[in-house]
Amino acid sequence: MPVDLSSEEAVVERISRAIKGEVEKSCDLKASISLTPREVYGILSGAQVAVAMTFSEEARLSPKAREALRTLEVKPLFSICPTCLKMVGKKFEATIQLRDFDDKELERIKLLVNKLIVEKSGGSHNVQTGAVWEEVDGGVDIKLPSIDLARKIASVIKKNFKVQSKESFKDSGWDRSRGKPFRKLTILLRSRNA
């Protein structure tokens, strides 16, 4: 689960929710957890931390829930999400080429793209990590890690601006595991206002 590091409260809440979710999934009991910022710092540092949790089980015959306090050893396994991994490795699946747009329109498009990336990723990415903007002669290229995201962005741009659109695919290597070529999508969006 990506962790929002913008504030101490957000970090504590996200880590608590992640641990609670994993525990409830594995043992079919309701769990409650209260982490301190110090415990969260230890978890984020990769240390194994003892966390106190309260488990509750609703008895079928009794209206009261049984509760038990247990200590659980928590040690995180860090990984990089697939989107971030593609961005770090510069493995873009799609490029949107914006041509003949003025600066005001490009700023509006940038806001739309950023909003879509944040919505699609559940708030874990922004335009800096989800898309690369390159200024080229005659416009801007947006490189994206996902063909689906590129098509969604292109459709939103088409709804909000008068554009001419053209899609093309290009092979870019061979995927041995699937026995197919890697394909990259290019979507050209040319403003009709020019």
Are residues 124 and 145 part of one domain?
yes
Are residues 89 and 68 part of one domain?
no
Are residues 88 and 21 part of one domain?
no
Domain end call among 74, 107, 126: 74
Quote the pTM value.
0.56
pLDDT digits (tens, 9 = 90+) for 5-45: 556 677 778 788 888 888 787 777 788 888 888 888 888 77
The letter for the amino acid at 109 is I
- Between 184 and 128, the higher pLDDT residue: 184
Element (H, E) at 65: strand 65-74
Are residues 105 and 51 part of one domain?
no
Q: How confident is the model at residue 164 (pLDDT cuts 50, 70, 90)?
A: very high
pLDDT at 184 over 80: yes
Quick one: average pLDDT of 96-109? 91
Q: Cα–Cα–Cα angle for 158, 162, 163, nearest 5°?
A: 65
User: Would you say 165 and 154 are in contact if contact means Cβ atoms under 8 Å apart?
Assistant: yes
Q: How confident is the model at residue 74 (pLDDT cuts 50, 70, 90)?
A: confident
Are residues 56 and 110 part of one domain?
no
pLDDT at 154 over 90: yes
Summary mean pLDDT of the chain:
78
